[in-house]
Amino acid sequence: MRFSYFLGGLAAVAVSGPAVAQTVSGPLGEQFTRRVITEKLSDPWEVAYGPDNFLWITEARGYRVSRVNPATGARQVLLDLSKNREFPRYDKVPDSVDGGKPWPQGGLMGLALHPQLLTGKPYVYLTYIYRFEGANQPGNGSRPNHGGNYFTARLVRYEYDATRQQLARPLVLCDSIPASNDHNAGRLLIAPVAGRDYLFYSVGDLGAGQFENGGRPNHAQNPASYEGKVLRFNPEPDTDLGQYDRWIPNDNPFSHGQRQSAVWSRGHRNAQGLAYAVVGGTGRLYASEHGPFSDDEVNLVERGKNYGHPLVIGLADGNYNGLAAAASEHATLPGPWHTTYPTIGSEQANAARLGADYRNPIASLYPLSNQFLTTVLTRTRTHSSDEPTWNSEAPSSLAVYSATAIPGWQNSLLIPTLKKGKLIRLQLTDDGTAVASDTLMYFRGPIRYRDLAMSPDGTKLYLATDSASITSGPSEEAPKGTACQGCLIEFTYVSGGHTTTPPRGSNPAPTPEQALQQATTLVKALKPKDQRAKRAGLPPAQQPIFDLLLKPALTPQEKARAQRNAPALLTGLRQQ
């Protein structure tokens, strides 16, 4: 997918407090004010705009649920779940004491407010990780031979006591959701199906196949497992006798006979974003997912459908043919890429074998070439010091902008990102089944955006930022000089913008002269270490052209050669 219309004018540092505001510009002339509402939260994971006109947040590491007044920044803690966590804050314990035990990715994660929270159904749904299999084991608690870190999560319904300002009377919907130190996904969403509300929850593939979980079996395709799935629960119990069966809809697609299953869809990698909207008269459920090295996805999630992971990465276009969703230097792990992720012989053939239930994503961000991906995996396998970087956004959440306040934004997907600190906007088609625009980028800065909420009128966007500077994998790259850690930032629309969004493919390819200018700027802005990594990731034919651009001056013959090859070089650089 093309990307264009970069934001100009966003300051690279956080403002000093909630009373100070800045003005920033959008790529189509939109004007916003930017204000930090509150900061120093313990990794805010979810932010939701409540019917009480407060922001409800979860703190992943702090294990707290709070209400924040968006006007003043005043915060009130409604629930502290730290005592429900059956393992310590490993991120605060020296490795010499705990053996290097990992913190789970997330912790206290998803939050969903019942639509009738203030009118008779005061229900608040939460998901948090509470148990670690290796807590009482020596060393780091992982299973042998990179077999993984086994955590467990539970899904709980609380009742909101507005008088006492507390969450109380918990009911456990499920206490056996598999979790990990990686790829837990962790989004909760209430959305209707056939006019009735249900509770959806995304579970990642738990990193099974990469890093410390490289030897852990991957179950994203197994319908009997909750790993790599979107789950569906009842927000209120039905009449089933089983303690947990009553929370599972009887018509879920993988429930058979006496066996109840919460699985709604499968083949997901790390769906950290869930959103619902009525587009073109039809209600649709969308998910955003992290890709491994490329091909971040936006999926239209449907009952019983299969989204391909780990057999198809992004579109079934063949760029991962012969490769896998990860690679490692650990020769004791299976396959040519040393991972439990399967080697993908052919994405196209895999999609055909998955049959009529397989679905391509409606958007795949930055699919890379097979040649470049082969270089990435090969050098990862050899643990090369010249392991190249790659383009990936690490989408951390998802929302659908349904209001009319900002010209041209109605029915747009809004995707906060971790790796490069920006908000991506993708305009949907009129029926909501595809993306119609190029990738538009907003609010870029040295920040890791974790989640997004909007005011009901669509004039205010609220973005939560991570406290930690890095996590793992494609999101490991932190924006340089990360600012405003653990913040809630308010962007208020002021004026400007276009009533229509430029269509997909409207950004023309640069001329050879323009490509040479842009490539030269990119190359000369790199530090020496980054220059080596970028050069290593290029096809061999492009590396001599890269070297030319490092020279202080070019002869006419060298400039002509560089200009002829500049478009291909620029594409190669942007892939990283």
Q: Give the 3-state secondary structure of residue 181.
A: coil
576 falls in which pLDDT band (50, 70, 90)?
Answer: low
Determine what percent of the chain is predicted with pLDDT higher than 70: 94
Tell me: the pLDDT tens digits for 460-497?
Answer: 999 999 997 655 544 445 555 557 899 999 999 999 99
Q: Tell me which of 266-270, 399-403, 466-470 is least confident.
A: 466-470
Decide: 274 and 286 in contact? Cβ < 8 Å: yes
Is the pLDDT score of 46 beyond 60? Answer: yes
Tokens of 482: 């990360």
pLDDT band at 177; cut points 50, 70, 90? very high
pLDDT of residue 470: 55
Q: Per-residue pLDDT averaged across 428-443, rounded? A: 94
In this prediction, residue 391 carries a pLDDT of 74
Look over the chain and give the mean of its residue pLDDT values, rounded to a whole number. Answer: 91
pLDDT of res. 475: 46
Look up residue 367 and give its DSSP letter.
P
Comparison of pLDDT for 411 and 19, the residue scoring more: 411
| pLDDT, position 7 | 38
Q: Confidence class of residue 508 from pLDDT cuts 50, 70 and 90?
A: confident
Once rounded to an integer, what is the mean pLDDT over residues 159-171?
97
Burial 49-81 (b: 16+ CB within 10 A, else e): bbeeebbbbbbbbbbbbbbbebeebebeebbeb
Alpha carbon of 25 to those of 2, 135, 188, 483, 501: distances in Å? Answer: 21, 48, 32, 19, 16
Tokens read off for 301 = 């999630």
Q: C-alpha angle with apex 542: 539 to 544, nearest 5 degrees?
A: 125
Q: What is the pLDDT of residue 4?
A: 40
- Whose CA is closest to 156, among 177, 170, 176, 167? 170
Strand order in the sheet with 75-80: 44-49, 55-59, 64-68, 75-80
Distance CA 33, CA 28 (A): 15
| pLDDT at position 539 | 81
Of 534, 210, 490, 448, nearest in space to 340 by CA:
210
pLDDT digits 0-9 by tens, 516-559: 998 898 888 888 877 887 887 788 888 999 999 999 999 999 99
Q: Candidates 2.120.10.30, 3.30.420.40, 2.60.40.10, 3.40.309.10; correct CATH number of 38-495?
A: 2.120.10.30
Among residues 464, 470, 461, the alpha carbon closest in space to that of 450 is found at 464
Q: Is the pLDDT of residue 446 over 50?
A: yes
**What pLDDT does residue 264 have?**
98
Domain ranges in the chain are: 38-495, 512-575
d(CA 330, CA 325): 15
* Other C-beta atoms lying within 10 Å of the C-beta of residue 156: 20
pLDDT of 20 reads 63
Is residue 209 over pLDDT 60? Answer: yes
Please tell me the predicted confidence (pLDDT) of residue 104.
Answer: 95
Q: What would the mean pLDDT of 315-323 be, rounded to a whole number? A: 97
